[in-house]
Homo-oligomer: A and B are copies of this chain.
Amino acid sequence: MSLIFRPLFEKESSTYTYLLADSNTKEAIIIDAVDETQQRDIGLIEELGLDLKYIVETHVHADHITSSCPLKQKFTQAKIVLGKINPVDCADILIGDGETLTFGEFALTAMTTPGHTDGCMSYVVDDKVFTGDALLIRSCGRCDFQGGSAEKLFDSISRLFALPDETYVYPAHDYGGRTVSSIWEEKAFNEMIGGGVDKAEFVRRVNAMELALPAKIHVAVPANQVCGSKIVSD
């Protein structure tokens, strides 16, 4: 058995979607699928002959609309998965810390990693962690909406940093064209929390971020709360 693993990129929002499958059973999981690229993703799932079991979100995104609902309409056996904290009605499974989803011989283990939003989850599969907007490459998620908390994010990233050093880090976004990092690298070089930054300094740095609201937040959050089943207009 081996893991089929396909990172996919959506340029407009710089979002990574991850498709994972067991090469023998073809059972598959997709993480953070995006509305704009749903035809690409459906085509790839069909070409690879995959049996999509779970459509997983790291969180309710503010910068793009999920394709969870359209994917489920296409692959009707698939279950939509979101975190248990701050539950979303359209999910089939609300997953909690330490709970697992199996696909073939592989398992995805959920970790609650709140801070960017209060419902953020990370997911560990094999030697990979999918960190959503909690831990980004050399950076981290902002904490100024959707129940965000820099204090909670510090604790969440500290939990991620307890994973083995060689664990690969796959975030929900990268704006500089980087596709992967590792836990040891982020411990050493992350510009917000690396090199042993303490909680007070981390909170100061996060709160000093000066960012405009995501352009799509007023459309994306309501749309994602219904798993992208319809586009909510302004």
Contact = CB atoms under 8 A, between A and B. Distances in A.
Contacts of A188: 47
B40 A177 contact: yes
A11 B47 contact: no
Contacts of A75: none
A8 B179 contact: yes
B180 A6 contact: yes
A167 to B, nearest CB: 14
A11 to B, nearest CB: 6
Interface string A31-49: 0000001001000100110
A10 interface: yes
A179 B47 contact: no
A178 B47 contact: no
A65 to B, nearest CB: 16
A202 interface: no
A112 to B, nearest CB: 28
Interface string A172-197: 00001111100001001100000000
A7 interface: yes
Nearest to A185: B47
Q: Which of A11, A44, A177 has the most CB atoms of chain B within a 10 A radius of its CB?
A: A177
Interface in A1-38: 6-11, 37
Nearest to A178: B8
Top 3 nearest A-B pairs by Cβ distance? A9-B177, A7-B179, A47-B189
9 contacts: A6-B178, A7-B180, A8-B178, A9-B9, A10-B177, A40-B176, A40-B178, A47-B188, A47-B189
